[in-house]
Chain A
Amino acid sequence: MNLREITGLIFIIGLGLLIGAVLKTLAFGITGDVGTTILAVAPQEIGTANTVTSVLLAYRGLDTLGELTVLFVAATAAGLVLGQRRPDAPYDPDAGFILRTATDLIFPFLIILGVYIILHGHLTPGGGFQGGAILAAAFFIPILASPASPLNHNVSSLVEGLAGAAFIIIGLVALFGEGYFLAPLLGKGEVGHFFSAGSLPLLYLAVGLKVGAELAGLLARLAETEAIDK
């Protein structure tokens, strides 16, 4: 047995002990009444028709900020590792006619779907993360179709930075206005209407733009790296 196998064995034993300990202390299934309380209280308190959004952005807004930070660090690290391509490196040839035509056709619909899912995050299932991933896919498909016209990384970085800053600024405004970081602002409105739930749609718009720009930049960087010569 070499060192690597021993390390792996120790890791697996430790992980098993940890999971066993957690399973022993935690009862299986729903414990406590947090879930039922939030389900009963959230629509009146926050004004969202989609309860998941009220948890993600109002009750646990700080966790969402942490999630955004994790994604940001991951995308930055990937960009660092991948590095720059040589300026004279050749691009892959354009894809076939079918993929290029389908890209032109599908691009606007993907944009509309992504923006719809982001903006209706407080009403219907979905929200910033899901819509952002769809936006990233929309901007990545043209790169697949014609690799020689890459994404403008300056624009995507700018959108990403502005959206992330907007999320934190809304949180700070709430901190100085209401006394709590990321507390919901602007009143509740009427549950189920498009202009409701206060500042949550704005937060989700920031999340969606940030996730979309980040993932699109990451995918584009991965696609731009030079493939190893065979």
Chain B
Amino acid sequence: MLFWVILMSVVIMLGAAVAVLILPNYLAATAAISVVSLALSVLFVALQAPDVALAEAAVGVGVSSVILALTLRRVGLWKIETDKDT
């Protein structure tokens, strides 16, 4: 059971990390970074580090993604559609 949880979270982390590189939309890439952190916090729980998992869930998933998204808004890259679609 624990093995599958760890495997799942590692696969999700890798997939989301690759998605960050591939996605053409900055906002979607920010969301993918958040998914990496979310899977990482599950991994920390599986590795019996609940303190680190809480910090990762609060800071990595929440605050840092919001900071990235707000920075995108500040520099004018906050677009829902990609350039190809429009």
Contact = CB atoms under 8 A, between A and B. Distances in A.
Interface of A: 50, 52, 82, 117, 125-127, 129-130, 133-134, 136-137, 140, 215, 218-219, 222-223, 225, 227-228, 230
A222 B51 contact: no
A222 B55 contact: no
Given A126-B51, A130-B58, 11 more contacts: A52-B51, A82-B74, A125-B54, A130-B59, A133-B62, A133-B63, A134-B62, A137-B58, A137-B66, A219-B70, A222-B67
Point out which of B50, B51, B57, B78 has the most chain A C-beta atoms below 10 A from its C-beta. B51
Contact of B55 (A82, A129, A136, A219): A129
Contacts of A140: 66
Contacts of B53: 125
Interface string B38-52: 000000000000110
A129 B60 CA distance: 12
Contacts of A125: 50-51, 53-54
A163 to B, nearest CB: 18
Interface size on B, as a range, is: 10 to 19
Contacts, number: 54
Interface of B: 50-51, 53-55, 57-59, 62-63, 66-67, 70-71, 73-76, 78
Nearest to A226: B74
B54 A126 contact: yes
- Chain A residues touching B, majority SS: helix
A219 B54 contact: no
A212 B38 CA distance: 21
Nearest to A221: B70
A225 B59 CA distance: 22
Contacts of B71: 222
A134 B59 CA distance: 9
Contacts of B62: 133-134, 137
Given A50-B51, A126-B51, A130-B54, A137 B74 contact: no
A52 to B, nearest CB: 5
A24 B35 CA distance: 34
A219 B63 contact: yes
